[in-house]
Amino acid sequence: MAQKVTVSLIDDLDQGQADETVTFGLDGATYVIDLSSKNAEKLRAALAKYITAGRRQRSTPRASGRHTVTVQRVPATADKEQNKAVREWAQRNGHKVSSRGRISQDIVDLYNAQAGK
């Protein structure tokens, strides 16, 4: 036995027969509404002055509510001259520091405090 399935669109405003599905967006959200030709034209007419004054966006932003932030990375390593000065100061003042590698932040803070930084 064969079956025939018919899908009817119902106008979301007046519950009559819908002729089309209209997609529109506002405040980062995208909406879909089934409308008759008459109601679709009313929607387009109501939005026309805003569409004319606005700019079209090429891609849709994520609707997650998040904003894209660009972060500029700052290198974690100090320059070689600064490290050399901190090591020499630390050794002259009785602090243990290796000749290579990372300098303890405590030592750097002490150096900066004595240097007025």
Task: Read off the CATH number of the domain in which 92 is found.
Answer: 4.10.320.10
Q: Does residue 14 sit in the same domain as residue 52?
A: yes
Distance, CA of 96 to CA of 8 (rounded, Å): 82
- 72 domain residue, yes or no: no
Q: Are 64 and 30 in contact (CB under 8 A)?
A: no
Distance, CA of 86 to CA of 115 (rounded, Å): 10
Bridge partner list, 23: 32
Whether 109 shows a pLDDT value over 60: the answer reads yes
Q: Does residue 52 sit in the same domain as residue 92?
A: no
Q: Does residue 51 sit in the same domain as residue 84?
A: no
Range of the domain at 94: 80-114
Give the 3-state secondary structure of residue 31: strand
| Three-point CA angle 57, 39, 50, nearest 5° | 30
- 39 domain residue, yes or no: yes
- Least confident piece of the model among 83-87, 103-107, 112-116: 112-116
pLDDT digits (tens, 9 = 90+) for 33-67: 999 999 999 999 999 998 889 888 876 555 555 65
- 50 domain residue, yes or no: yes
